[in-house]
Amino acid sequence: MDSMGTTVNGGALDDQAMRSVADAVRDASKTATEHASAVKNAIVENGLMRSVSRFSYTSAYAISFGIVYTAVFVTQWLPQDNPVMDGFGDGARAAMDSLKAN
């Protein structure tokens, strides 16, 4: 026994137990920090992907609207009884027939 009334071997076991607890707390803290960092990165990346997706959709919508609106405007602006408009009409009907056949 030492001067405090505890056994020397018991003190060594207490120190070892405290070291084990300290190591476990340190490891848990490190794991929690890494997990929090991974969650933060996932949120940032997901937000970025959502923004890129939204931008892609809006861009495709605007481009297709612009093309279709322009095509409709031009076809309405051109005189209807001429070979160009007959070609547009025949081509549109052939495209629709082709889609229906598939």
Domain range annotation of the chain = 8-101
Residue range 2-31: average pLDDT? 68
Q: How much is the pLDDT for 62?
A: 93
With H, G, I as helix, E, B as strand and everything else as coil, classify residue 63: helix
Backbone CA torsion sign across 59, 62, 65, 69: negative
Phi-psi region at 73: left, alpha or beta (left = phi > 0; alpha = psi -120 to 50): alpha
CA distance 95 to 37: 53
Q: What is the pLDDT of residues 42-100, one digit of tens each?
A: 777 777 778 888 899 999 999 999 998 888 888 788 788 888 888 888 998 999 899 88
